[in-house]
A = this chain, B = another copy of it.
Amino acid sequence: MSIGRPLEYDPTKALDAAMQVFWRRGYEGTSLQDLLTATGLSKSSFYQAFSSKHEAFQQALTHYCDGLTARLREKLRAADSGWEFIESVLMSAVGEARIPDDPRGCMIVNVATEFSSRDARISELVADGVKRVTRIFVTAVKRAQKEGRIAAGKDPNLLGRYLLSSLSGLRTMVKAGSTHGATAALVTVIMTALKS
């Protein structure tokens, strides 16, 4: 039995690096060489760590969802109200999506667009990611209902999904050239549907 030699890489750093490149280039657009360059791993270490490009992609997508939901949960926890959380997420998406050098958008949306329903395992991960993000919006809606900003009789699950759908639409409008003022006006309309 050989004495365990120290790991040649930091697994979390390697996963994060793989995520960054998949996020930027998509699955098909990412070559094995891109992954090796990004992670700094040799071919054999990469396959030892991730088994395959497909497996690395699945781990990277899950890692992305973990980070996104952790940030959103923290933001909701720190927010003054559920209503302000909702407004702030919609508005920050407007700002983020305008960074011209960062056309990555939301990785879950990108993956859903690249794969559509052609890969059952990936579809499952996408649906799971959507569920996890939706759950945070649902929590925010329930909080806004308690605060009296959204009528108690409304279905928080439906409104949570509506917010996610609206957020995705907003991002696309920004990518398509919508100005900050025009997009902010859209946020107001989107939030109207929550109240009435």
Report A's interface with B, CB cutoff 8 A.
28-29, 100, 103, 105, 108-110, 112-113, 115-118, 123, 126-127, 130, 158-159, 161-162, 164-170, 172-173, 175-178, 182, 185-186, 189-190, 192-193, 195-196
By the criterion CB–CB under 8 Å, are B173 and A186 in contact?
A: no
By the criterion CB–CB under 8 Å, are B189 and A123 in contact?
A: no
By the criterion CB–CB under 8 Å, are B103 and A189 in contact?
A: no
By the criterion CB–CB under 8 Å, are A100 and B116 in contact?
A: yes
Candidates B103, B118, B162, B185; contact of A190 at CB < 8 Å: B162
Q: How distant is the Cα of A127 from the Cα of B162 in the complex, in angstroms?
A: 25
**Assuming the A-B contacts A161-B182, A166-B166, are A177 and B103 also in contact, with contact meaning beta carbons closer than 8 angstroms in the complex?**
no
Copies of this chain, complex-wide, total: 2
By the criterion CB–CB under 8 Å, are A178 and B166 in contact?
A: no
By the criterion CB–CB under 8 Å, are B130 and A116 in contact?
A: no
Given contacts A110-B113, A165-B170, 11 further A-B contacts (CB under 8 A): A100-B116, A103-B116, A113-B113, A113-B172, A113-B175, A127-B177, A130-B177, A159-B189, A190-B193, A195-B196, A196-B196
